[in-house]
């Protein structure tokens, strides 16, 4: 899962980047509205954290432009403590949720998880596929109740497949959702991660769909 964080206050931006990355997401950063608008228009994010007061272009305008060009990713806006009018304007502009500053990182992460799972049509914080269970609250994966040890990239690949289980996920989509923008991307490494995951999972759980990509499913 890949998240865009937009915040112009340097300290808060770093805090957000560290907290969200530590929760297992690939993270891209923008510190002004124009850069945010461009990234949101060109990169496929699973969620966006958007501050409203931004240099160059304010957050509400960014959000309105995304929605006007049919960018539907979930957006969590950051508002001023007593800014009820900001919340109303933000939701009307297409925000899916809001959080008033100052906030606790744990609350922001919980709201992010909820947004991402709702956008994938999942009601529970635990994603289950046969014997495999991913608890999005603590990024833990178990297989028949036993903890699986995964590297951060293996986790991101598996989390993306679990959020889209039963669907064919292209290698390009995996690359775009597990790496941040400035990462040296190599689609061959996705195959390596898939190979390693297969060794840790029951045979045939990750199916190769020739020419299209991969599908995570309970083996028949
Ligand atoms: Ca600001």
Query: For 45, left (φ over 0), alpha (ψ -120 to 50), or beta?
Result: beta
pLDDT, mean of residues 164-185: 89
pLDDT for the residue numbered 188: 78
Domains of the chain, each with CATH number or no CATH: 2-119 (3.40.50.2300), 126-216 (1.10.10.10)
Give the predicted TM-score (pTM) of the model.
Answer: 0.91
**Confidence at 205, pLDDT banded by 50, 70, 90:** very high
Between the CA of 8 and the centroid of ligand 1 the distance, in Å, is 5
Per-residue pLDDT band at 78 (split at 50, 70, 90): very high
Q: Which range has the worst mean pLDDT, 10-19, 116-125, 190-199?
A: 116-125
Contact 206, 162 (CB under 8 A): no
How many A from CA of 53 to the centre of ligand 1?
Answer: 4
- The pLDDT > 90 percentage for the chain reads 86
Contact between 139 and 125 (Cβ < 8 Å): no
- Position 186 scores a pLDDT of 74
Q: What is the pLDDT of residue 69?
A: 96
Distance 171 CA to ligand 1 centre (A): 36
pLDDT at 203: 85
pLDDT at residue 189 is higher than 90: no
């Amino acid at each position: 899962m890949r998240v865009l964080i937009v915040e112009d206050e340097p300290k808060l931006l770093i805090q957000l980047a560290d907290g969200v990355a530590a929760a297992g997401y690939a993270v891209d950063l923008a510190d002004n509205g124009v850069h945010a608008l461009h990234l949101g228009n060109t990169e496929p994010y699973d969620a966006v954290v958007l501050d409203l007061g931004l240099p160059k272009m304010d957050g509400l305008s960014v959000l309105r432009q995304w929605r006007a060009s049919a960018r539907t990713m979930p957006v969590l806006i950051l508002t001023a403590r007593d800014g009820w009018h900001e919340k109303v304007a933000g939701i009307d502009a297409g925000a899916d949720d809001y959080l008033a500053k100052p906030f606790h990182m744990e609350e922001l992460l919980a709201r992010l998880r909820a947004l991402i799972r709702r956008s994938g049509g999942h009601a529970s914080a635990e994603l289950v596929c046969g014997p495999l269970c991913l608890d999005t609250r603590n990024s833990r994966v178990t297989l028949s109740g036993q903890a699986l040890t995964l590297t951060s990239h293996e986790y991101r690949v598996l989390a993306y497949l679990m959020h889209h289980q039963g669907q064919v996920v292209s290698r390009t989509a995996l690359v775009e959702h597990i790496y941040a923008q400035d990462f040296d991307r190599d689609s061959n490494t996705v195959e390596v991660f898939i190979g390693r995951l297969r060794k840790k999972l029951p045979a045939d759980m990750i199916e190769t769909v020739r020419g299209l990509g991969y599908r995570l499913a309970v083996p028949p």
